[in-house]
Amino acid sequence: MQIALIGWQGGGKSTLFTALTGSEPAAGAEAHPGVAEIPDEQLDRLHELYPPAKKIRAKVEYLDVAGLAATQKRSGLKRSLISHLQGASVLAPVIGLYAFGAADPAELANLVTAELRDLEVELLLSDLQTAEARRERIDRTRRTGQSVDRTEDAAIDEVLAALNAETPLREIDFAPERDRALRSFGFLTKKPLLTVINRGEEQDGEAIAAALGETLSGKRRATAVVDARLEAEIALLDEEDRAPFLRELGIERPASERVLQAGFALLGLIRFFTVGDDEVRSWPIVEGTPAVQAAGEIHSDLQRGFIRAEVVSSDDLLAHGSLAACRDKGLLRLEGKDYRVRDGDVMHVRFAV
C-alpha cells in the first residue's frame, strides 16, 4: 500500500511525512518515499507465543510529493508528477490550516472545502489529458483499419463523459470489464481520497470536523484531522518516550495509526497472519480474497501448488496457546482454494510444486 501526500505549497506535507514515518524527507526532491511499519497489537500478542521467532509487521509506503504553487492552478499536474502518483494506492491531500490561528471553525471548514475543490480540479484536468491522449490513439488506430479493443474504447468514452462533467472517476461504478480495461492508466480521480486536515495547536479539530459535517464525505473518501507539527515531534522521540508523552497530551492514538486505519478502510484491506518458530508475520490483503490468492502474497510457489490451507482465528490461537491445542479442540480447520480469508485468520498453506 502506498499513500501519496499531495497538496499546495505550505500545507505541511513534509511535516506530516515526518509524523507518519519518523524520518524527514530529502530537500528538493520532487517525490520522496518513506516506509513505516503498521502497528498491530494482535501480531504482538501472537509473537509472545513464539518468542524466538522474528516479528515482521506489514509495511506502508508514504510518498511526499512536491507542493503545487498557486500559479499552477487550473493547468493540470506536470507529467513527471502524474507518473509518481499513478502508482499510489491512495491520494492524501494535505490541507494546512495552522497559519489561520484561532479562526472560527466554520471559516476554517470553508477554507478546507475551497482548497480541496481547487486540488480536485487539477486531478480532473490531469485525468482529462490522459484520457484524451488515449482517445486520439484509439481513433488513429481505427483510421488505419486496425481493430481496437471495444471494451477499452467504450470505457474511455465513459471516462471522458464523467471528466467533462467534472465528476471524479471514483464516483463512477464502472462495469467490471471496463474497470479492468482502465487499471493500467492509473487515473488519479479514480483513486481513493484521504483528506488530511493539518490544524494548528490553537484550533479545535473536533469543531472543524463538525463544521465540515458531510461536506467531504462521499464514495471512497475519508477525512483525518491532525496537528502535524506536534505529531512529528512525537514521532522523532525514542519509542519508550512516546507513550507517556501521548498520554500527557491526551492523544489516544498517534496520527500514524489514524491515517493508516483510514487508508486500510478506503482500500477494503484486512490482514491475516502466518506463525512459526522462524517468524510471525502480518499480511495485508483485500477483504474477500480467496485463500489461494492470499497464499500467493506469501510466495508464488504456494499459490501455484496450493492444496489446502490450515486456518484458525488468531483469537482462538491466543486463547488456547498453540496450534496443537486448537487442533484438539476442533478449531483448526482445512479450507480449500475458494475460502475467503477473514480478518485475523492465522493460515498455514499446504502445497506441492
pLDDT tens per residue, range 138-175: 999 999 999 999 999 999 999 999 999 999 999 999 99
At 146, which amino acid appears? Answer: Q
Q: Is residue 278 in some structural domain?
A: no
Residue numbers of the domain that contains 293: 288-351
Cell of 301: 510457489
- Give the domain-ending residue among 266, 301, 326: 266
Domain count, the chain: 2
Give the C-alpha distances (Å, rounded to integers) separating 149 from 144, 172, 174, 183, 186: 14, 21, 16, 14, 18
**Are 244 and 314 within one domain?**
no
* Residues of the chain below pLDDT 50: none
> Cell numbers 512536491 label which residue?
66
- Confidence (pLDDT) at 121: 93
Q: Does residue 201 contact residue 275 with C-beta atoms inside 8 Å?
A: no
**Are 43 and 191 within one domain?**
yes
Closest CA relative to residue 272, chosen from 261, 285, 259: 285
- Note the pTM of the prediction, 2 decimals: 0.87
Where is 91: in which H helix or E strand?
Answer: strand 90-96
Q: Which residues contact 235 (CB under 8 A, 6 or more apart)?
A: 18, 19, 20, 21, 22, 242, 254, 256
**Are 171 and 125 within one domain?**
yes
- Confidence (pLDDT) at 81: 87
- Confidence (pLDDT) at 75: 64
**Are 160 and 70 within one domain?**
yes
**Are 299 and 189 within one domain?**
no
**Are 238 and 300 within one domain?**
no
Domain CATH for 210: 3.40.50.300
**Are 109 and 153 within one domain?**
yes
Q: Is residue 277 in some structural domain?
A: no
**Are 259 and 184 within one domain?**
yes
Domain CATH for 324: 3.10.20.30
- Confidence (pLDDT) at 218: 85
- Confidence (pLDDT) at 5: 95
**Are 173 and 302 within one domain?**
no
Q: Is residue 271 in some structural domain?
A: no
Q: Is residue 61 in some structural domain?
A: yes
